[in-house]
Every structure is written in structure tokens, then in C-alpha cells.
Amino acid sequence: MRLVSQNENVASAAELLMQVGQGSRTAFQQLYNLQSSRLYAVALRITCRAPLASDAMHDAFLQVWRNAASFDPARGNAEAWLVTLVRYRALDIVRRRGREVSSEGMPERVDPEPDALSQLSQGREARALHACLSELAEDRRRLIVMAFVDGLSHSEVADRVQMPLGTVKSWIRRSLQALRTCLEGT
């Protein structure tokens, strides 16, 4: 078996997270250095504002520090855990605040290209997700990707794609049902 990580000289996020769980500040900083640009981008995309994205990162990383010992590598991968924490903090912030529509100074949001999904890494979850998203009609797949990446509510998605709210809700619902069936079969 050959394990290839993107940078074999650097400890993986999972290894670092285990060390963080034992109280290593060095590992914590390495983990931050390894993951911060990826996670900050996720927070910025959802909050649309640098100070809010910074708040989300700060709060999420303190959670990482406090809860690293409870992370169970058998139950999920470290990158997914980190993304989840940062997304929830970012979503909390925009939900509480109400998202401002204007986002001056931000690069214009571009919907991910349909075949961008094929660039997803080749991890097991990524391959399964790619395969199952590919089974959805393109316009429905787009709504799911948009909702996740931009952290949009039903009505924000409806505004963005100029579709009735009821249609968006029912498409999302059916897409989730189809994805679940497909993913549980993979």
C-alpha cells in the first residue's frame, strides 16, 4: 500500500490534531499553518467580510484546541472536522447578523464550474460525493454546491438563482434524498 500525501514532509492534519489533543502548542501552530488558508477561504466565502471571517477562525480554532482530544480519527477525517467547525462558526455569525448583500472589496462570487467537482481530491468521501452529485441534474447539483460553499439559506438561494422559494426547497429536499440513497449505496 502506498500512501501519498500532498506534502510528505509535513505531518498530516490528523497526526497534528492528535498531538494537539495531548496539549502540544507546537502541533497546534503547525496545524493552523497547514490549514488556515483553506479554512479562512471557507469562512470568508460565507461571511463575505474579513473581520467576520477572522472571528469565525478565532472561535473555531479555540474550539479545536479545547476539543482536539475528543476528535476520533476512526469516525471522520481531520480536515472535514476542521471545515465543519469553521463553517458552523461562520454560519452562526452570518445568521445572527443577517448577511449584508453588499460585499465591497470582495472578489465577485463565481459559482464553481460544473466540472470543478472532478477536481475534488481522490479521498474516499470526495470520490463518493462526486459520483453521487454527478447523478443529479446539473441545475439541482448547482443548488446544493451553492448552498454549501456560500452557506446560503433557502431564500438566499432562491434570490440568487431567481427561482420560486418553494421550488428551491423541494429541489434541495429531493436532492438530499437522492444523495443519501446514492451515498449509502457506495
Partner 1 sequence: MSDAPDELSVLAGEYVLGMLDENEAASVRRRAEIDPILARAIGDWESRFAPLAELVPPVAAPPMIWDRIERSLDAAQSPAPPTGYRPEPRGTRFWRATTAAALALAAVFAAIAYLPRNEAPPRLAALGVAGAPAPAFIAEARGDGYVTLTSVSPAPVPTGRDLELWLLPKGATTVTSLGLLLATGRRLAVPGLADGAQLLVSLEPQGGSPTGQPTGAVLYGGTLITR
Within residues 150-179, the interface with partner 1 by CB under 8 A covers 151-154, 157, 172-173, 176-177, 179
Contact 81, 185 (CB under 8 A): no
* Whole-number Å distance between alpha carbons of 13 and 115: 27
Q: Least CB distance from residue 25 to partner 1, whole Å?
A: 7
Q: Least CB distance from residue 40 to partner 1, whole Å?
A: 4
Using alpha carbons, select from 115, 97, 1 the residue that is nearest to residue 55: 97
Cα-to-chain-centroid distance, residue 91: 11
Rg over CA atoms, the chain:
18
Q: 101 to 130, contacts with partner 1 by CB under 8 A?
A: 112, 116-117, 119-121, 123, 125-126, 128-130
Binding mask 18-57 for partner 1 (x = CB under 8 A): -------x--xx--x---xxxxxxx-xxx--xxxx-xx-x
Q: Least CB distance from residue 156 to partner 1, whole Å?
A: 9
Residue 123 neighbours by CB distance under 10 Å = 12
| Alpha-carbon separation of residue 139 from 101, 144, 155, 173, 175 (angstroms) | 23, 9, 16, 14, 11
Kindly tell me which of 11 and 40 has the beta carbon lying closer to partner 1: 40
Kindly tell me which of 116 and 137 has the beta carbon lying closer to partner 1: 116
Kindly tell me which of 38 and 69 has the beta carbon lying closer to partner 1: 38
Kindly tell me which of 3 and 105 has the beta carbon lying closer to partner 1: 105
Kindly tell me which of 10 and 58 has the beta carbon lying closer to partner 1: 58
| Alpha-carbon separation of residue 152 from 17, 103, 124, 158, 175 (angstroms) | 29, 15, 26, 9, 16
Q: In this chain, which of 15, 67, 134, 145 binds partner 1, going by CB under 8 A?
A: 145
